[in-house]
Amino acid sequence: MPAREEHLFEVFDRLIAIKNECSFQIFSECGLADMTVKQIAYLKAIDEHGDVTFSRLAEITRNSKPTITETINRFVRMECAYRQKSPDDGRIVYIRLTEKGRMMAKAEQNALNRMIERMMRTLDEKEVDLLIEILKKVG
């Protein structure tokens, strides 16, 4: 790999490491540093789809209802989610996220926000503008 490409690789590898560091800080703040990628994906699905039932989450995640039930039971123990009966039909149970669950669902976005804040503190205004221009070209 040519030197310039190697240097670019190292820079992006460091940026990814910083973002991962920010994600880990968020997980630690919630007391859930051992969350799996799959669990976070379930929390994101619940957060994004609003009124989610066990059956609907099973469809969204392509899992069985027993797997979803086990996962939600774990989330309840972790204080990330709770069950709420529908006010219109008591047979329907929705999965709701607690504040901790919402924070975990948005951890990746929040990690990017923290990384950007870190960049804004480090770079001057001209450097930020230049970075934006460069990233627009590749994106």
Are 105 and 63 contacting, i.e. CB atoms less than 8 angstroms apart? no
Q: Which residue is listed with tokens 């490409």?
A: 5
Mean per-residue pLDDT, 41-64 = 94
Question: Residue 59's CB: how many other CB atoms inside 10 A?
Answer: 12
Report pTM: 0.70
Question: How many angstroms separate the CA atoms of 73 and 65, rounded?
Answer: 12
pLDDT band at 68 (very low <50, low <70, confident <90, very high): very high
Question: How many angstroms separate the CA atoms of 42 and 133, rounded?
Answer: 35
DSSP three-state, residue 41:
helix
pLDDT tens column, 79-101: 999 999 999 898 999 999 999 99
What class is the 36-105 domain? mainly alpha
